[in-house]
Structure 1
Amino acid sequence: MASDRIAVAAPIDNRAAGAPRSGQGTIPWAIKGELILNCNCTVFCPCVVSLGLHPPTEGHCQTWGGVRIDAGHYGETDLSGLNIGLLIEIPGMMSRGNWKVALFIDDRASDAAYRALVDIFSGKAKGTTGLFSVLVGEVIGVERQPVSYETDGKTRHITVGRKIEGVVYPVGGKDPDEDIVIRNTKYWMGPDITVATASKGRVRAFGRVWDFGGRSAEICQIDWSGPGKG
């Protein structure tokens, strides 16, 4: 399937030529659902508990992620049922910024939903994800892709076209029925992070070829909103 790709070397402006400003940063929005990340850290990502003040285990961060939106809106635009794929590179400590990010928007999204999700995940919509506008130094691309986010028991299966293929599941604890969860954090994604790993974490996009099977992963229930929050 052909993709809509925006080659981006500057901040995104998703308005059509001559269109009025979209009200970025003033439109009420909310997303509830789940987010997973799989990165190159060899043990559980230290960014969660250090809030980005400790470097990744490899000195730099390479991450892919998926977001499942169970319920969401941007103004009057419904975002429920859509999925998002992410690719993130961070040269050192998370808190120091200069991130490079690629965004993959569910190809089922309407044009209005597409624009809304770009605003939210670029930080322009402010609120919970507003920090992206400070931390992200370069958006390397935005594409429409078929994004699948499925749960089988405790295992999450993610595919983003032919770009990302991931299988993530919680790390086992002494009680097999209870996940290992780091609770009550100030992490930007959400306060409770399930410690996970990936049996598959393959990326082939924007010149990156990664395989993070067996590496660190996170599962988080998200409840994000804006513009007044964050």
Structure 2
Amino acid sequence: MTSTETSWSVAGSLFEGCNCELLCPCHVSFRQRASYGFCEAIWGVHIAEGSSSGVSLDGLNAAVAAYCPGPTMADGNWRAVLYLDQSVSPEQEHALLNVFSGEAGGPWARIAPLYTNGRFEAVRKVRFLFTKESRKRTLQVLDGGDAVSLEVEAIRGADRKGVAKLVNLHNVIHGREHVMARSDYRIHDQELRFEGTGKHGLYSEFKWSGP
């Protein structure tokens, strides 16, 4: 069985931050111009439950960081780096690589062709710290100090009790309800180097499957 024929599904928390101002225009369409004509973005992923070809992926974390030269994300040439949990087994690593590279189908198969040459510039295994609170999501790489971190905190809705949400958007990887948030993020790595405070943020509960 090839990777593209492997049945898989995962569900969990997805959150993101980028250098766009609230709200990132790309969530309406990848053909919308980014706030500043380019995009620096980080996606944090916590898999609550899932499996691929009988291999459990429960509890694993991952992150994708990318620099998109623009002026729209649809123009491609994203410089992208994938971070995987250091604790992954060879089988889990293979499954996650196939998911995020698009080789296993599913939503990332629509994202991966936008990477430069259709692949990640680097794949790193790191120690993650993931936290999930009522209105906040954080993911931090514990290796190398604060080289990679992402924190998003939801914006309160008009009633000042619930959170502000977006629905019915043309988004490939997020769940049906997007919670609007502010983000603080930082990546100081060999391939990518950027950071931002009080920028665009979102989080949702996702379900992905393939092929």
Normalized against structure 2, the TM-score is what? Answer: 0.91
| Aligned match of 1:43 | 22
User: Can you list the C-alpha shifts for 1:97-139, whole angstroms capped at 9, x where unaligned?
Assistant: 2222100000111110011101100111112211133222241
Offset of 1:53 from its aligned partner? Answer: 1.4
Distance 1:113 1:44, change over 3 A: same
For residues 168 and 101 of structure 2, what CA distance do their matches in structure 1 show?
26
Q: How many residues align?
A: 204
Decide which of 192, 198, 204 is 2:177's aligned counterpart. 192
Partner of 1:3: none
| 1:144 aligned to which of 118, 121, 125 | 125
Q: Which amino acid aligns with 1:52?
A: F
How do residues 1-230 of structure 1 correspond to structure 2 at under 5 angstroms?
23-49=2-28, 51-92=29-70, 93-137=72-116, 138-161=119-142, 162=144, 163-190=147-174, 191-198=176-183, 200-227=184-211
CA contact (8 A) 2:44 2:150 kept: no
Which letter maps to 2:140? T
Counterpart AA for 1:182:
L
Structure 2: how far apart are the matches of 1:211 and 1:134? 25
- Determine the C-alpha separation between the residues in 1 that align with 2:177 and 2:203: 9
Structure 1 residue 207: Cα displacement:
4.2
Distance 2:104 2:42 in 1: 22
| Cα contact 1:85–1:160 (8 A) shared by 2 | no
Equivalent-residue separation in structure 2 for 1:143 and 1:208 (angstroms): 13
Q: Give the TM-score of the pair, scaled to structure 1.
A: 0.84
Runs of 4+ displaced beyond 2 Å? 206-209
Unaligned ranges ≥5, structure 2: none
Hey, what's the Cα distance between the residues in 2 that align with 1:187 and 1:78?
27
RMSD, matched Cα: 1.5
Instruction: Write the letter of the residue equivalent to 2:131.
Output: E
- Give how far 1:64 is off: 1.2
Contact 2:13 2:203 survives alignment (8 Å): yes
Secondary structure (helix, strand or coil) at the match of 1:220 reads strand
Match of 1:18 in 2: none
Please give the per-residue CA displacement for 1:4-36, whole angstroms capped at 9, x wherever unaligned.
Answer: xxxxxxxxxxxxxxxxxx611100011100111
Task: Measure, in 2, the Cα distance between the counterparts of 1:211 and 1:130.
Answer: 27
AA partner of residue 69 (structure 1)? I
- Aligned identity (percent) is 25
Contact 1:189 1:220 in 2 (8 A): no
